[in-house]
Structure 1
């Protein structure tokens, strides 16, 4: 393996994770001050969040720090690092915009906040779940940045578990709260990929 290229991918991945946390932290602190009106937290929700955290952060961090499982390494390529870094940068841009648009409505779990509003601006003008889009891009970027058959794709798997466990529940919750307004919004937007899905 070309160590310098592989190390560059690992460094870019680590920077991306730090940026992710720096973006999220202030919103997480502010969210604690806004009263929760209702929630749909469940064991499945906790499992989905844990899966995403494991695939997008814990397992790859373990690999970056220890090199284990080294047997699953494959040659790193500069073009892959460029693609992965670009995907991670786009993911962080969407992640930041999503948090900014949600403002006081943001929550890490399935919750409705006091004076919750239907957000349709920014990335929400095109897709209903741009935060999941950012996680998908992070997972894809990770697969390009970490040249390991286990640590690389773990992010895509973590994203998939989170998305497929929660997206339908989120949409049902929004339909209960916003009714026909959300139904109309669903008709004019896609789920996570603009114009496609």
Structure 2
């Protein structure tokens, strides 16, 4: 393994996770002050959130802290760290813009807040679920930043579990609340990748 590239990649990953926490914290605090009028929490949603947390934070964090599982390491390259850094920066940019655009509507779980609005501007003008887009970009960046088959792939696996278990429920909830307005929005946007999916 190219030790210096591996160390830089791990450092970028740690800084990215710190940035993620800094971005999320004030929105999470503000959201607690807005009453929730409808909760759609399910067991499968809890599993999805746990999988995303494990894949995007716990497994890679354990690897960065301990180097385990060392047997799954592969050679780190500076070009991969550069790509991973660009992807993580893009993920944090989308993550921040998404939180900012949602404002008081933001929630970590499937909830409808008092005076909830359908947001169709900013990143929501391109995709219906830009928060998932940011998680996908984080997972991809992890592959390039952490030269380990387990830690590197854990983010994409965690994201996929969350996405599969939750996105259909989220869209059903939005259709129930916003009806034809959300149907029209669905017709002109993709789910998480602009112009593709």
TM-score (norm 2): 1.00
Structure 2: unaligned runs, 5 residues or longer: none
Partner of 1:67: 67
Please give the secondary structure, in 1, of the residue aligned with 2:159: helix
The equivalent of 1:100 in structure 2 is: 100
- 1:39-58 mapped onto 2 (5 Å cutoff): 39-58=39-58
Q: Does 1:25 align with 2:25?
A: yes
Q: Secondary structure at the match of 2:112?
A: strand
Name the structure 2 match of 1:109: 109
Measured in 2, the distance between the counterparts of 1:45 and 1:166 equals 6
What is the deviation of 1:39?
A: 1.2
Residue equivalent to 1:152:
152
- Deviation of 1:147 after TM superposition, in Å, equals 0.1
| Whole-Å separation in 2 of the counterparts to 1:9 and 1:180 | 46
CA distance in 1, matches of 2:83, 2:169: 32
Q: State the match for 1:7 in structure 2.
A: 7
Q: Distance in 2 between matches of 1:79 and 1:191?
A: 30
Q: Work out the CA distance in 2 between the residues paired with 1:183 and 1:149.
A: 40
Q: Give ranges in structure 1 of 5+ residues lacking alignment.
A: none
Rounded Cα–Cα distance in structure 2 between residues aligned with 1:31 and 1:166: 20
Quote the offset at 1:73 in angstroms.
Answer: 0.3
Per-residue deviation, residues 132-160 of structure 1 (Å, max 9, x unmatched)? 00000000000100000100000000000
Q: Tell me by how many angstroms 1:131 deviates.
A: 0.2
Aligned residues: 197
Q: Distance in 2 between matches of 1:146 and 1:26?
A: 28
Query: Once superposed, what is the RMSD of the aligned Cα atoms?
Result: 0.4
> Which deviations, in whole Å up to 9, do the C-alpha atoms of 1:157-190 show, x marking residues without a partner?
0000001111000000000000000000000000
Quick one: distance in 2 between partners of 1:149 and 1:45? Answer: 26
> In 1, distance between residues paired with 2:195 and 2:39?
30
Q: 3-state DSSP class of the match of 1:112?
A: strand
